[in-house]
Structure 1
Amino acid sequence: MSDPPTETPVEDTLVSGETDFDVPQAVLDRISNREFTEWYSEQQFQTNILEGQAYFNGPSPPKDPDRHSPSKLLQCHRKASYARQNAPREGTPPEGLFWIGTEFEEQVIVPFLQDITTQNTYVTNSLWIDAEIVVDGTELRVRGSTDPAIVTPDAEPLLVTEIKTTTSLDHLSKPKPHHRAQLHAYLFALDREYDHSVTDGMIVYGSRKTLNIEAFHIEFDAGFWERVVDWMREQTVFERSGELPPATPERDWECNYCSFKHRCGQGDSPYADIGYDGLLPAFTGYDRQNLVDYLEAHDGRDARLTPALAHQYPELVDEYGAYDWSCSRCSESYAWDTVEWDGNTDDLPFCPTCAESGVLVTVSGPEPHEQLDVK
């Protein structure tokens, strides 16, 4: 009788290199956030082409001053303007939150509405709106698409919804004003377009943790809509004049989560009231995808990486280029990779020319307003 086979511990098998079940090093190296982000972006790219929405691929052009998106209404004027004009976003894009919101809407709320709607009414994923408004001689236009709506057999709207996901439903006693503004834009535009009145909507909040919902019935309020229209007019006036709008957050804590807090002046970096164009010279808190989006959006204006960002993302330099380090004292400039630097933005490198003469002066990249259209 032969001896029983000897078992080899799994951990020994994985590292021995003697079986067909070794984990390929190439796979181990590619399981990373960067690899996942690039993969997910490519999936979105392919999906947009497959669905005939290739125009969603790539950055959106800056908005005309008179055109407004429902999702941006009644927010901080400066934040909305930064987003509308493609200012570079800081931090990490909340792609996961967008995905969860879309899945919650399409996989949970739409089937729910389909099951509870009455006979001879149906559910549509969205309705397109496009409405013009003239206020005190200022022409405004609000365009966008709704969330799911209950409609007639002829696809005419009866009840419009706005679906939002949130971490928690605790302490949620009423809808947020900018969500009301978004729904009011839909109601206003649809009421104008159809023969019957469209004045009712629902704002539905869903918990990302529990899938519980909190729903609020909203009736069109002419007084509240007037407030929204005034906000649009003010935003348009600011942008037409080329003036950076004031920072007007509804609550102070909102600035902590804003994607533009550093260029606005609400972060811990030495910047404030920076316009729409240009990257912050000594700031490296741009997520790679946000950075690429900005560079792509401004490709025709010779957008490049700052020297600090070139050190952080050297693999992007071949495609997008990088500005030089420059010294404000002696006016010398140096290629981004010719000055030794450890990447600490609190200690920028010293100018080699000035250092030779015993003067320690730090170099930096061009200021934001000096970057685009550099020759």
Structure 2
Amino acid sequence: MSGPSRDNPLGADSPSPNSEHEAQQIVRQRVTNREFNEWYSEQQFQTNILEGKAYFNGPSPSKDPERHSPSKLLQCHRKASYARKNAPREGTPPEGLFWIGSEFEEQVIVPFLQHITTPETYVANSLWIDTEIVVDDTSLHVRGSTDPAIVNTDADPLFLTEIKTTTSVDYLSAPKPHHRAQLHAYLYALNNEYDHSITDGMIVYGSRTTLDIAAFHVEFDPVFWERVVKWMATQTQYEQACELPPATPERDWECKYCSFKHRCGEADTPYGDTGYDGLLPVFDKYDWQNLQEYLEAHKERDAQLTPTLAHRFPDLAEEYGVYDWKCSRCGTSFDWNSVDWDGNADNLPFCPDCAEAGDLVTLSGPEADSQLNTDRE
């Protein structure tokens, strides 16, 4: 080990003042929301591979019209189709809510259930379901995995739970309908699979701020289940007919927190009733992660960024490409990087050709539904 010197008074094994300053600079520059999100995504990617769940990496494939996930039942039909068809999500993905929900279930609820269950029963982290329901000659397939379940010594289910986290449990007086629908799907599937009756479960809400819980016993209700099945059949009919479903929120607050509210027309922007394909033109309220997932999901169909977004996400522009600016007046196209523009979506550039002729016409990107190479009948 070398001793201190005039250039490095702490010794050769200690960082020099210059390297310390460089380290501080790197930390200040790289502790950003964008860098953190990319790092966290990579951690999830590695964890999925380590746990043999590599199929969770990358965008989810577009759902077949007949297939339904229990966690997506009884919501706005249009919102459901947007999500099922991998339409680009707006805003920022709620990764924190997903993480907190998972940790609350695994680190708090499962140990608690293990503490209170009887010596003759056990707690299973989850159970897989895959069931078929025939409605008017249409086969509906419901697939997914439950939350923790109480099982017997043969690991056969006896009682199900559905775990949800929320800001506060003080206002809850009953379980939410879409959570009841999710639990009903699990009960229906497992009751058909096993010889003994499985008709009971519990929805447990946990507060993310206080860890207080509110639990509601749920017994399978055939009338309510008919409503859920009807919802699935209607959703399937819209998608089989290649129709954009109507905007029919099941809950008053659903539009406010929807990841597709601009696309749908439920926001203070000039968009509405937009199909599944393409990014909204001249719209910049997309998050980097949502954009990357959308572009990757539609990579085989040559999805690209709009010129508006290329200025915000140059790394994605380089990887996936960028559509041209378009002039609605003369129809001329311009390479996104050839037009002088400061990136302000509220102050779009003028068409050079029209300006030269004395007309000030702003440029825009391609229409959302025409952005992807797709075979449409």
Per the normalisation by structure 2, the TM-score is: 0.93
Structure-1 residue corresponding to 2:219: 219
Distance of 1:33 and 1:41 partners within structure 2? 12
After superposition, what is the alpha-carbon deviation per residue over 1:167-194, rounded to whole angstroms, capped at 9, x for unaligned?
Answer: 1112110010000000000000000000
Distance of 1:255 and 1:308 partners within structure 2? 25
Structure-2 residue corresponding to 1:313: 313
After superposition, what is the alpha-carbon deviation per residue over 1:184-226, rounded to whole angstroms, capped at 9, x for unaligned?
Answer: 0000000000010000000000000000000000000000000
Structure-2 residue corresponding to 1:59: 59
Q: Is the Cα–Cα contact under 8 Å of residues 70 and 143 in structure 2 kept in the other structure? A: yes
Distance of 2:25 and 2:280 partners within structure 1? 37
Q: Which amino acid aligns with 2:296?
A: E
The 3-state SS of whatever aligns with 1:147 is coil
Cα RMSD, aligned residues only: 1.4
Matches within 5 A, 1:57-136: 57-136=57-136
The offset of 1:19, in angstroms, is: 7.7
After superposition, what is the alpha-carbon deviation per residue over 1:22-80, rounded to whole angstroms, capped at 9, x for unaligned?
Answer: 45311221111111000000000000000001011000110000000001000111111
Cα distance change of structure 1 residues 136 and 19 upon mapping to structure 2, 3 Å threshold: closer
Q: Which amino acid aligns with 1:271?
A: Y
The 3-state SS of whatever aligns with 2:58 is coil
Distance of 2:252 and 2:125 partners within structure 1? 35
Q: Is the Cα–Cα contact under 8 Å of residues 184 and 220 in structure 1 kept in the other structure? A: yes
Q: Which amino acid aligns with 1:78?
A: R
Distance of 1:296 and 1:234 partners within structure 2? 29
The offset of 1:344, in angstroms, is: 2.6
Moved more, 325-334 or 365-374: 365-374
Matches within 5 A, 1:1-375: 18=17, 22=21, 23-373=23-373
Q: Is the Cα–Cα contact under 8 Å of residues 70 and 143 in structure 1 kept in the other structure? A: yes
The offset of 1:347, in angstroms, is: 2.6
The offset of 1:287, in angstroms, is: 0.4
After superposition, what is the alpha-carbon deviation per residue over 1:306-329, rounded to whole angstroms, capped at 9, x for unaligned?
Answer: 010101111211100000001121
Q: Any unmatched runs of 5+ in structure 1? A: 1-16
After superposition, what is the alpha-carbon deviation per residue over 1:93-139, rounded to whole angstroms, capped at 9, x for unaligned?
Answer: 00000000000000000000000001110001100000100111221
Distance of 1:155 and 1:182 partners within structure 2? 21
Distance of 2:65 and 2:31 partners within structure 1? 43
The 3-state SS of whatever aligns with 1:205 is strand
The 3-state SS of whatever aligns with 2:311 is helix
Q: Is the Cα–Cα contact under 8 Å of residues 88 and 278 in structure 1 kept in the other structure? A: yes
Cα distance change of structure 1 residues 317 and 153 upon mapping to structure 2, 3 Å threshold: same
The number of equivalent residue pairs is 359
Q: Is the Cα–Cα contact under 8 Å of residues 327 and 364 in structure 1 kept in the other structure? A: yes
Distance of 2:299 and 2:260 partners within structure 1? 21
Q: Is the Cα–Cα contact under 8 Å of residues 62 and 84 in structure 2 kept in the other structure? A: yes
Q: Which amino acid aligns with 1:198?
A: I
Distance of 1:159 and 1:366 partners within structure 2? 52
Q: Which amino acid aligns with 2:61?
A: P
Q: Is the Cα–Cα contact under 8 Å of residues 281 and 365 in structure 1 kept in the other structure? A: yes
Distance of 1:37 and 1:246 partners within structure 2? 34
Distance of 2:127 and 2:216 partners within structure 1? 20
The offset of 1:371, in angstroms, is: 0.5
Q: What is the aligned-residue identity percentage?
A: 74
Distance of 1:235 and 1:19 partners within structure 2? 62
The 3-state SS of whatever aligns with 1:257 is coil
The offset of 1:21, in angstroms, is: 5.0
Structure-2 residue corresponding to 1:8: none
Distance of 1:19 and 1:245 partners within structure 2? 61
The 3-state SS of whatever aligns with 1:312 is coil
